[in-house]
Amino acid sequence: MLKTWSLFQKLVLSNVLYSIPVLALIYMMVQAQDVNIDFAYQEEKGNELQRPIETLLKPLLQYRMDLSLDEKKPVPAEIASAIEGLKPSMKKLAGDLQFTDEELKKRNRSGSRLEDFEKRWLEFAKAGESKGASEKVNGFITDVRTMITHTGDTSFLILDPDLDSYYLMDVTLVALPQVQDRISEVLAFLSSHRKSFSGEDKIQAAVYAALLKQSDLDRITGDLQTALNEDPNFYGVSPTLKEKLSPEIAKLQAKLELFIDDLTKLSAGKSPRPYTEVAKAATEAFELSFGSWIVAVNELDALLAKRTSVLNAQKVKSLVIALAALLLAVAILGWISSSFNRNMKTVIDRLRSAVSRTQTSGSELVTLSADLSSCSDEQASALQQTSAAIEEINSMVQSTVSNTEVARDTAHKSHESANSGKQAVDHLLTAIGEISNSNQLVLDQVETSRKEMLEITKIIGEIGGKTRVINDIVFQTKLLSFNASVEAARAGEAGKGFAVVAEEVGNLAQMSGNASKEIASMLDSSVTRVKTISSETDTKVSSLSELSRKNLNQGADLAEECNTAIKQILERIQDVLDNADRIQTAAGEQAKGIQEVTSAIHKLDTIAQKNMDMSKKTSVQSQEVAEQAKDLESVVQLVQAEVLGASHADFKH
């Protein structure tokens, strides 16, 4: 059987699910903090490995200085001891600091592998060769310096994020090992050239002095000052940094400045102090550099330990705050869930009570609606019988009214026909008047046409006058043509062309004169014809106009007689209509009274029908209320199941 969880259980599950991403975020926060802590731990590992490597570097540098004085100097046992002392730390940290064959080969630092270094050193020590020993020792020193560099690369020391520890790291990892190497190299150089000092040696001395001053001493003092300045800006002030390291660096600075001054004098050709004192100052600076290195490494360890302590404390604090916030949120959500669960129980109890009352009211409504429906049926039956009797009386009265209406309609139609006849006669009289007016208009138009024809005759006469002008022009043109011909004949051969033109002009004048005569003849004929037509038209129109006037007068007299007869018919029909209206009015009053009674009966019947319909609807609504009460009960059970939890088998749908 499938079990439904209560709302409280669901809320608890939601709280648990909500806690999962919060815990994941807390875990990610811790991981982020651990990255910084692991970064610092890795730096501490680099510092730890630097100590035995620096211990190995010192005897190698010392041995190089000894070889400069005596190439047959035996191999010191301290180097082998330093190699043995380096082995435990290398074995412990080789994996973390990537001193593996693969990583060293990848960086081209295979010579810095301790096993290979030891093997080569033992072979060198066993051979005891003096020739080329200095160069081989330099190679071993380079390998040790490479170990230091590799340690710095893989331990993140060169990536230190805090400026105080970063500059202190630069002192321990780069600057001090570099100055140690440089002092050893300079001492070896001075030892090998103390008997004779050439110009090239002076230049080399100047270079060494500049390197010791700028690349070494200035770098060391600058790094120390920056570390001291930046110390308050990070994880608290280190009380021993200035107290212990500053005096050591000051001692080293004094010895280095004295040594640099000696080298400067040598490069300038001046006589420095005796060689023994110069070598002593250099040796003291060499020893002080290792002492300063030890103090600097210890201070760097202190800074890194302080950082890891603070980071761990921050991690714990953040973790505690996050877990406390999570527990508080869970507690608040639990309280809200519990309170909501209690309130929902109260709501469900009230819903059950309301459902029970609704079911009782629904049952009572069903009984009342059944009684109301029975009474409404009896009332409707009685009203239907009364309505049937009234309908029969009303039918007889309506028949009388209908017959009266038919007679009245007939009289109305006769009256309308007589009116139509009268209107036709009136229209006839109007038409005769319009015909008379039209006849007069025709006469007026004929008179207008006659006047226009006279105008045309006048215009034709004027055209004839213009034609005579043309004839005069033609005559003058002929005369000019003749004169031109005479002049052309006088001109002889030169006037032949002009004679042809004169002849052509004469021909054109002859043709124009002929055309003018023809036009004049046609105009005279047209004037005569127009006058004849105008006279005949006036005679015919006058005769026809007189005949039309006589016929129109006779038609008007006949139409007037018809109009008088139709008026008499209309008066008699009006009497019939008056009698029919009185009969219809009396019958209408009777029908109206019966109609009002019938309407009242119908209204009562309608009301009864509405009551019956409302009773049926009330019954239906009562049934629906009962059904809704059942549905509400089902909803209450469903809400109870969702809020309090219940088996699906207990649901009632």
Averaged over successive runs of 10 residues, the pLDDT of the chain (653 residues) comes to 64 78 82 81 90 92 84 85 93 90 87 89 80 84 92 85 86 91 90 78 91 92 90 81 90 93 87 82 92 92 87 88 87 79 76 74 69 68 67 68 71 76 77 75 75 78 77 82 82 79 82 80 78 77 74 74 74 72 70 70 72 73 75 74 58 42
Contact predicate 646/347, CB 8 Å: no
Contact predicate 348/636, CB 8 Å: yes
pLDDT confidence of residue 483: 85
Q: Which residue has the tokens 């001492």?
A: 187
> Euclidean distance between the first and final Cα of the chain, in Å?
18
Q: Which two tokens stand for residue 414?
A: 């006769």
β partners of residue 3? 647
Give me the count of residues in the chain. 653
- 54 contact partners, CB below 8 Å, separation of at least 6: 148, 177, 290, 293, 297
Helices then strands, counting H and E runs in the chain, come out as 13, 0
Residue spans of beta strands (DSSP E) within 463-560: none
- Calpha distance 285→365 (Å, rounded): 116
Query: What is the dihedral angle through the alpha carbons of 156, 159, 160, 166, rounded to the nearest 10 degrees?
Result: 120
- Calpha distance 20→26 (Å, rounded): 10
Q: Which residue has the tokens 């038209």?
A: 537
Q: Which amino acid is at 82?
A: A
DSSP character string of 132-172 = THHHHHHHHHHHHHHHHHHHHHHTTGGG-SSHHHHHHHHII
Contact predicate 21/322, CB 8 Å: no
pLDDT confidence of residue 348: 74
C-beta atoms surrounding 434 within 10 Å: 10
Give this prediction's pTM. 0.51
Contact predicate 212/256, CB 8 Å: yes
- Calpha distance 644→653 (Å, rounded): 18
- Calpha distance 32→311 (Å, rounded): 11
SS3 content of the chain, % helix, strand, coil (to 5): 90, 0, 10
- 416 by Cβ neighbours in 10 Å (0-12 / 13-18 / 19+) ranks as exposed
Contact predicate 339/266, CB 8 Å: no
Contact predicate 191/223, CB 8 Å: no
Q: Which amino acid is at 443?
A: L
Enumerate long-range contacts of 93-101, CB under 8 Å, 24 or more apart: 93/45, 93/48, 93/49, 96/42, 96/45, 96/154, 97/45, 97/46, 97/49, 97/150, 97/151, 97/154, 97/155, 98/150, 98/154, 99/150, 99/154
pLDDT confidence of residue 250: 94
**CA neighbours closer than 13 Å in the CB half-sphere of residue 456:** 16
DSSP state of 75: P
What sign does the dihedral 121-122-125-127 (CA atoms) show? Answer: negative
Contact predicate 140/53, CB 8 Å: no
What sign does the dihedral 449-452-458-459 (CA atoms) show? Answer: negative
- 303 by Cβ neighbours in 10 Å (0-12 / 13-18 / 19+) ranks as buried
Q: Which two tokens stand for residue 526?
A: 């047209």
Contact predicate 306/238, CB 8 Å: yes
pLDDT confidence of residue 190: 85
**CA neighbours closer than 13 Å in the CB half-sphere of residue 240:** 10
Residue of 218, 221, 244 whose CA lies nearest to 300: 244
pLDDT confidence of residue 2: 44
- Calpha distance 528→639 (Å, rounded): 125
